């Protein structure tokens, strides 16, 4: 633990933000959670702010764990273009505040930046990127800004855990299975997704806060095909059934294989929550709309 650290966490109302708040507070850090008005509940000791407009005046902080973004699957943001524009505004406001206090930045980016057509078996941090949307462009700009400040960039695979959005494939599968409905697996179900639990991401952030690492790190686990994911959900729920091929999958056969060897080598981090355990924890969740 770094003595005297005061850590601001943006996106503190999201699944990764909540897990990160808990992980850092548990080891005694002075944590300042900042969340959007959209997530406001009955929580105490949080700062409510619209980061697309301004960063709140919270006084001096030593670290910025910057998780906030206008995610494309959030229904508040109707288009990829608006998600990209708002994410860029959020980043600029947060980084301006971090520069003011010379705070160390930990920036959450995404493995979706990698070129899915690249033939490399496991994509490493130096693998080619494909910036083909406004949202991905905003995340790449955020990465470069964070690196210029000597910060850490975490390229996250698909985060999951308590509080996931209903619009995600995992939440949809669980919702359909526990209602006894068919789980629609598009195409042949060969497309992969790579799920990493929010607690695993939080444990990585906790490690970084106590060290002096910098650069880009993939934070990912083992990939799973959509058919296998559906089978796992049905087995754990004890209900539902797969329905194959009703809809074509435009991403049929796409891989989601990312090497986390650099994170293991430099940070001593590896995922510890296996997918079956993590999915089982979500079975009784109320999903966010």
Q: What is the pLDDT of residue 253?
A: 86
User: Distance between alpha carbon 211 and the CA centroid of its chain, in Å?
Assistant: 21
Question: How many whole angstroms separate alpha carbon 116 and alpha carbon 251?
Answer: 10
Q: How far apart are CA 182 and CA 177, in angstroms?
A: 7
Strand-pair partners of 183: 242
> What is the pTM for the complete model shown?
0.94
pLDDT tens per residue, the chain (289 residues)? 566 899 999 999 999 999 999 999 999 999 999 999 887 665 778 999 999 999 999 999 999 999 999 987 665 555 568 899 999 999 999 999 999 999 999 999 999 999 987 878 899 999 999 999 999 999 999 999 999 999 999 999 999 998 888 889 999 999 999 999 999 999 999 999 999 999 999 999 999 998 888 999 999 999 999 999 999 999 999 999 999 989 999 999 889 999 999 999 999 999 999 999 999 999 988 887 7
CA dihedral for 180, 184, 189, 191, sign (positive or negative): negative
3-class state of residue 106 by DSSP: strand
pLDDT of residue 244: 94
CA torsion angle 154 156 162 168 (round to 10): 150
Task: Name the token pair of 182.
Answer: 């068919």
Scored b (16 or more CB within 10 A) or e, 150-163 reads ebbbbbbbbbbbbb
The DSSP code for 39 is: G
pLDDT of residue 165: 86
Please report the pLDDT score of residue 1 as a whole number.
Answer: 59
Instruction: Write down the pLDDT at residue 107.
Output: 98
On whether the CB atoms of residues 91 and 151 are closer than 8 A, the answer is no
Query: What domains can be seen in the chain, in order of their start residue?
Result: 6-163+195-223+257-273 (3.40.50.720)
Check residue 198 and give its pLDDT.
98
Instruction: Please report the pLDDT score of residue 51 as a whole number.
Output: 97
The pLDDT assigned to 66 comes to 98
> In angstroms, rounded to a whole number, what is the distance separating the alpha carbons of residues 71 and 21?
20
* Degrees to nearest 5, angle at CA 79 with 73 and 82: 105
Q: What is the pLDDT of residue 113?
A: 97
Residue 3: what pLDDT?
Answer: 67
**Residue 22 structure tokens:** 């808990």
């Amino acid at each position: 633990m770094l003595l005297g650290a005061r850590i601001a966490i943006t996106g503190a109302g999201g699944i990764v933000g909540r897990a990160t708040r808990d992980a850092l507070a548990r080891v005694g850090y002075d944590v300042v959670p900042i969340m959007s008005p959209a997530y406001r509940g009955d929580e105490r000791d949080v700062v409510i702010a619209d980061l697309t407009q301004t960063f709140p005046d919270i006084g001096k902080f030593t670290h910025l764990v910057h998780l906030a973004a206008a995610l494309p699957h959030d229904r508040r943001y109707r288009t990829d273009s608006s998600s990209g524009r708002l994410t860029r505004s959020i980043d600029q406001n947060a980084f301006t505040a971090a520069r003011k206090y010379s705070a160390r930045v930990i920036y959450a980016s995404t493995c979706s930046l990698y070129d899915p057509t690249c033939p490399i078996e496991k994509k490493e941090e130096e693998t080619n990127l494909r910036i083909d949307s406004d949202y991905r462009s905003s995340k790449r700009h955020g990465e470069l800004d964070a690196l210029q400040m000597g910060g850490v960039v975490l390229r996250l695979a698909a985060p999951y855990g308590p509080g996931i959005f209903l619009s995600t494939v995992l939440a949809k599968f669980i919702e359909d299975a526990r209602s006894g409905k068919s789980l629609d697996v598009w195409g042949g179900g060969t497309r992969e997704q790579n799920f990493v639990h929010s607690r695993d991401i939080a444990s990585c952030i906790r490690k970084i806060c106590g060290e002096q690492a910098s650069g880009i790190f993939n934070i990912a686990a083992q990939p799973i095909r959509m058919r296998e994911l559906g089978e796992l959900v049905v087995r754990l729920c004890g209900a539902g059934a797969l329905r194959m091929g009703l809809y074509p999958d435009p991403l049929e056969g796409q891989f989601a294989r990312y090497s986390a060897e650099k994170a293991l080598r430099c940070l001593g981090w590896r995922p510890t929550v296996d997918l079956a355990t993590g999915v089982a924890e979500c079975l009784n969740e109320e999903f966010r709309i």
